[in-house]
Structure 1
Amino acid sequence: MDTPETESLGELDLAIVHALQIDARAPWTKIAATVGADAATVARHWQAMSEESLAWLTGWPTPERWSTTTDVAMVLLDRSADDQVIERIAGMPWALGIDDTSAGFLVLVAASSGLAVLGDRVRELEEAGATVLRMDVAASIAAEDSSWRLAVLSRSQQRVMRQRRDDDGSRAPRPEVVAEVADALDADPRMPAATLARALGVSEATARRTVDRSIAAGLLRLGCDVAMPAAGYRRGAVLWARADDVDDAAVRAQHTAQTHRVGVLVGPAPLFVCVRARTLTALTGIERDWGEGIEVVDRWTVLRGIKRNGHLLDAAGRTRGRVPLTW
């Protein structure tokens, strides 16, 4: 089946998305001042992108939150799985992401109740009709889509968007509180503080402070996702590598602009890096930018994204619905 062409987003559209990636709850007036347009124009462009499913607001499970509560595995499924099987798996709330790759379907599976539960969930993939080729448990997640940004706004524009109220030095909210806030903001990350306060049963000031502290601690990240082909990123790859110091290699890999996911797995090629680029010829330069001491031993091409951060994607990379994440 041919992949439908996706109309490319304009410069202003991409600037708005970049601003929302930095601060999804920023007032339209702040975003407008940053991108050099008036608030009404910014709101109109966002409405058009949203209605066309080319960009959407979302709450991301961050590496910091995962490190405190979650076990993660990368699971490779045989390509013989048909559309119905993949659709059933995409509907599972703990299957956070699915990519159709040259090696098979790569599924990101999460569990918060231990490795035994993680194993049970992989068996559920088999019960759904898939053939599991391999399962790699993550020792750590260094970077996730929550930290990936479009390269549109200048450094000074980004600094303006990052400006927040001063940190009062209070401790981060408890994990269960962060989870409650994330659930409340799931449908609308720009939900007004007054509405969020009613949902949480707290005062408006407490609701606003809890969101700010959760974000400052890295336990909650509210941002904006985009149909990658519309943003010019029509190619993706999963790279597997070895290194003398794998943790240092993970840090170097995550600082490459094209990288959107980095982890250290328990396996013979423990470093995995997911990248998105405009052409596959960029891979050589991406790997070179990592520096010495990293040996890439395998490369998989991403044929299409099927699910990302709970959002179901169509063949053009647009959101077609979302499965609320629970794990």
Structure 2
Amino acid sequence: MDSIRDLGELDLAIVHALQIDARAPWTRVAAAVGADAATVARHWQALREESLAWLTAWPTPERWSSTTDVAVVLLDPRTTAEVIDEVVRQAWVLSVDDTSAGCLVLVAGSGGLAVLGERVRALSTLGARVRRMDVASAIVAEDSGWRLRVLSRQQQRMLRDGGSSPSEEPRPPRPEVVDDLADALDEDPRMPAATVAQRLGVSEATARRAVDRSVAAGLLRLGCDLAMPAAGYRRGAILWGRSADPEGAAGRAARLPEAHRVGILVGRAPLFACVRARSLTALPQIEQAWGDDVEVVDRWTVLRSLKRNGHLLDDSGRTAERVPLRW
């Protein structure tokens, strides 16, 4: 693994701010993190140039719920690096983690379970050795909800209060408008409203309102991702568990500070929680916090994250290439 610099306090604060509101003006970010706007913009530019942090538009459970099925697929450890390189480049592969049990791949498909099955068989066509496939009955938390937890509650409130806060729940735009917005903002989540308006063929005010409503409705989630080792999170694990109340247990897992991806599968160990930590010695404490009613039946160590939300990651966790997600 290439050595990368540890992010400073201001860098981490800026990333946390952009995780909360990726489109916040630099003046508002600066006020929240306690620096001037020019300094904030300069630090962000350095993070981007070093590929240590990047803006992203995340697919959300709200968008998945009615149209998308997700499978969690385990590949045999003997699957070659050349084949894995082909797997991560598929537009319908959401994430790939190399683990102590083999590569864990999240596959998405719209159009029903038959399409999802075709996608998994396509992995075999690429040369991957599929050991097992489990269909997700629910994705309770995904990476966009994970936060660094650097800013205080007051600082976070400054970011949220500075944005639009409609008095009543906004009506989300039509699905085709959300799709057009997602395509545009996937290129640049901070794309100016005037440019978004030009893409959509509407007024600037309409474009700004459409973005705000889509985000408020959970149909778009714009945020910031980063090279986890640079923030001190050099270890990851996947916990598999059972509970008499899987929905309640999954909800608790999603609230754990270390959890960045949680789901319920149709399988023998229906609960899975992907966690990040500074050391694997933190796992017993994480499991204890999950709850006494959860039986953790297996633990996999994450050796390396290869793909996350359309970004291919290098050995140090930096973004190396972007493959837009389409399914």
TM-score bracket, shorter-length normalisation:
over 0.9
Question: 1:7 Cα shift?
Answer: 1.1
Letter in 2 for 1:322: R
Question: 1:53 Cα shift?
Answer: 0.2
User: Paired residue for 2:77?
Assistant: 79
Q: Secondary structure at the match of 2:65?
A: helix
- For residues 104-146 of structure 1, the C-alpha deviation after alignment (integer angstroms, 9 at most, x for no partner) is 0000100111110000000110000100000010000100001
Identity within the alignment, %: 70
Gaps of 5+ in 1: none
Name whichever of 61-70 and 93-102 sits farther off: 61-70
Does residue 70 in structure 1 map to residue 74 in structure 2? no
User: Paired residue for 2:240?
Assistant: 240
Does residue 264 in structure 1 map to residue 261 in structure 2? no
- TM-score with structure 1 setting the length: 0.98
User: Paired residue for 1:166?
Assistant: 165
Q: Is the 8 A contact 2:170 2:216 kept in 1?
A: no
User: Paired residue for 2:296?
Assistant: 296
Matches of 1:241 and 1:277 in 2, distance apart?
Answer: 19
Question: 1:154 Cα shift?
Answer: 0.4
Question: 1:34 Cα shift?
Answer: 0.4
Q: Is the 8 A contact 2:170 2:217 kept in 1?
A: no
User: What RMSD in Å do the two structures reach over aligned CA positions?
Assistant: 0.9
Question: 1:177 Cα shift?
Answer: 2.1
Question: 1:83 Cα shift?
Answer: 1.7
- TM-score with structure 2 setting the length: 0.98
Matched residue count: 325
Question: 1:180 Cα shift?
Answer: 1.5
Matches of 1:205 and 1:17 in 2, distance apart?
Answer: 27
Matches of 1:294 and 1:309 in 2, distance apart?
Answer: 28
Question: 1:67 Cα shift?
Answer: 1.2
Output aligned runs, 1:1-327, within 5 Å.
3-163=1-161, 164-167=163-166, 169-327=169-327
Q: Secondary structure at the match of 1:185?
A: helix
Letter in 1 for 2:314: D
Letter in 1 for 2:190: R
Matches of 1:272 and 1:176 in 2, distance apart?
Answer: 33
Letter in 2 for 1:247: E
Matches of 2:305 and 2:82 in 1, distance apart?
Answer: 16
Name whichever of 125-134 and 60-69 sits farther off: 60-69
Letter in 1 for 2:61: P
Letter in 2 for 1:248: G
Gaps of 5+ in 2: none
